[in-house]
Structure 1
Amino acid sequence: MSDIAADLGILSAQERDLVFARFDTDVAWRLGGTLRQAALDAGAALTIEIRAGRQILFHAPTPGTAAINADWVRRKGNTAAHFGRSSYAIGLALQRDRASIEDKYGLSGAEFATQGGGFPVRLAAAAGAAPLLVGSIAVSGLPQRQDHVFVATTLARFLDLPLVALTD
């Protein structure tokens, strides 16, 4: 089993580093296509969703997914957008604290998922200012750690940024 504290440090670095210089419907569409093609190339059955706020900008399942994956991406995206953190980081922090999202935050598990695959979309701000949370990316179909790694790895390639990677 991975070390939760070490993983949370890596996830924080990913969330800090994987920031967009520009994000709009065109960028979302290109990123969605990149994620979809990466899933197809890997033979991964994934549902992919990208949102700006509550607006869905890209949604696509690859062959082999099920309808339930659409609900998972909605819930993982809700978590990333609500906390400005990856759904995997929120889940690991809750695991570390031996808490549930319901008990700790009063949020419904029917609306929020704390499994890996949701990632915040942040827009770079002026020097010295924190990046602005503008949306979320979510995938569902692989085991949760792999869902997260897929998003982070593909996003780093898309943004042409280095990635502090999770180890297995």
Structure 2
Amino acid sequence: MEETWLQHPCARILLLLLSLAVVYGQTSTPAPAHKPCSFYSKRSCEECLKNVSCLWCTTNNSCLDYPVKTILPPSSVCPLSDARWGACWINFEALIIAMSVVAGAILLGITICCCYCCYCRKSSSAGRLEAEEETLILEREKRKQESLQRKNERTIKHNEIRKKYGLLQDMDHPYSKFEE
């Protein structure tokens, strides 16, 4: 029976991770009414970060528009150790490190899982091939023995018929018929 790609353990894990990502992405709360990020300056970090497009800088307690053209906010806008995005209790530098560690762990886990699954599949198929090969050898030997047994039975039967009609020659003296 052939295995479909959905029955493979690695495919199941990947589908689980993708579904969790989709569910997590759908359950996030929508942003409140759009006010410019500068409106929340000199207020609190929590108010600023309710809008995901805002960045809180602790050095001057300012709420800034996140610089979307660059992946990381440049130090001219706000130093990474003082920038807050997503949560007020963690600085942007620690957030980047934590996210990269988690992403690396996930990639390492997926790689190990795939390698392990491939190794298991390879070893199980190698074991299955060896077992099939052994059964083929045993069947071949069995057929050979049966063939020899049938050949001996035919020889005995033919010799009995020859003996009955006097056609059986003495095998000890192959030239005995020339002596008569």
The structure in which a higher percent of residues are helix is 2
TM-score above 0.5: no
More strand by share: 1
TM bin, normalised by shorter chain, reads under 0.3
Bigger Rg over Cα: 2
- Give the TM-score of the pair, scaled to structure 1: 0.23
Q: Which has the higher contact order (CA 8 A, sep 6+)?
A: 1
In the superposition, the TM-score normalised over structure 2's length comes to 0.22
